[in-house]
Amino acid sequence: MILPIQIHGSNVLREMAEEIDINNRPEIDEFISDLIETLRTTKTGVGIAAPQVGKSIRLFILWADRHLGKEPQVFINPEIVTLKGSKKMGQEGCLSVPGVYARVKRHQKVRIKYLDGDWNPQEKLIKGFESVVIQHEYDHLNGKEFFDHLSKEEFEKIKYKLDKLENGDIPELEYEYSLT
């Protein structure tokens, strides 16, 4: 089932997501399928977190290499162990903040522990673009949006666009969305 994506201004995007109880596996497995199907409906999405579809749980999908035909990766109850490498500036956008882009400074390496889509424990060092996407999606689990990393001056440059989204002025999108 395709789930509507929450747009900036929705309260769930600012909540601290709850850890997933592994006893709820059947329900979570179905939700993971829906989340992946939702991500597939977007033309450019490379990741999506559960809060972005209104469910405040610690889960996100990474699909940074979708253009290579690879399958999305599932991260259940992820925990960033360390952020490594120098920080690099890169352009970011978000399915929940359509039409808004900014240059964000992120670490180039991340060590992360999580359960994969088969519920097996993993710990990996991930580099480059995938590392950036992981940090972005992980922020969603902690009630943060990418523009929270901007300086006051950079934030002021995009504030009017954020205000428009909060007031329901949404650009035309290829995916379903919700304002609540």
Angstrom distance (rounded) from CA 168 to CA 171: 9
Angstrom distance (rounded) from CA 46 to CA 65: 8
Residue type, 29: D
**Identified catalytic residue from 92, 137, 156, 172:** 137
Angstrom distance (rounded) from CA 100 to CA 122: 33
> Which residue's entry shows tokens 């889509």?
117
**Eight-class DSSP state of 66:** G
Alpha helices in the chain (DSSP H): 25-40, 128-141, 152-166
User: Quick check: is 30 catalytic?
Assistant: no
Residues taking part in catalysis: 137
